[in-house]
Structure 1
């Protein structure tokens, strides 16, 4: 697998979150210039998108701003998470902590299951008896 570059990061942001202004793009490049890899910046974008989905499932349909993403990036800088290896170590630690807090089970959000057409099998019904609704037969 190829390593992502900043062009991939910009595309990921636009696909997952929305349009990126020039000042927001400059901030992402600033994080890159300070030593954060494009992989980690992309993970921050995915984490932001994940939080937006999580809030939507809870019924909190608020837009998550670029500042939320920038906060994640700054937090990861403070924790020394700037490359893929340090991110993976951090993420595995987070998963272990969540599992321990939930009594050994992965956290699950209580939501209604979304129903899709593939969940059902259509069976042709037998036609109704003729004349059953006489006013429709005309």
Structure 2
């Protein structure tokens, strides 16, 4: 069972920003930027392109919805999208508020936020999604 499956099961807490019966979006706790969100299918599948077509397209549509709220909540030029898939063997999409290409550099030091700051960011994103 991956760490993401444990989050889905409620065994590990997360700063959730959106959820459906099949998908979950939550803040990355080692973010590249404020509002860095991970979007996952609740079904544990290691590799993004091993998802069946319905789950894959649903994940992309869910990510698009989350990105729309994220852009409203966190001032930025764009929401960057990255799929790396080496850190956790559970398909996931990174949504990262960005103002330049260098904002998507996964080699640079990650940011650190307090639990209160993470909760406030999650609340801002959820509120922006509700206003859709």
TM value normalised by structure 2: 0.27
Judging by fraction of residues, say which structure has more strand.
2
Higher relative contact order (CA 8 A, sep 6+): 2
Judging by fraction of residues, say which structure has more helix.
1
Structure exhibiting the larger radius of gyration computed from Cα positions: 1
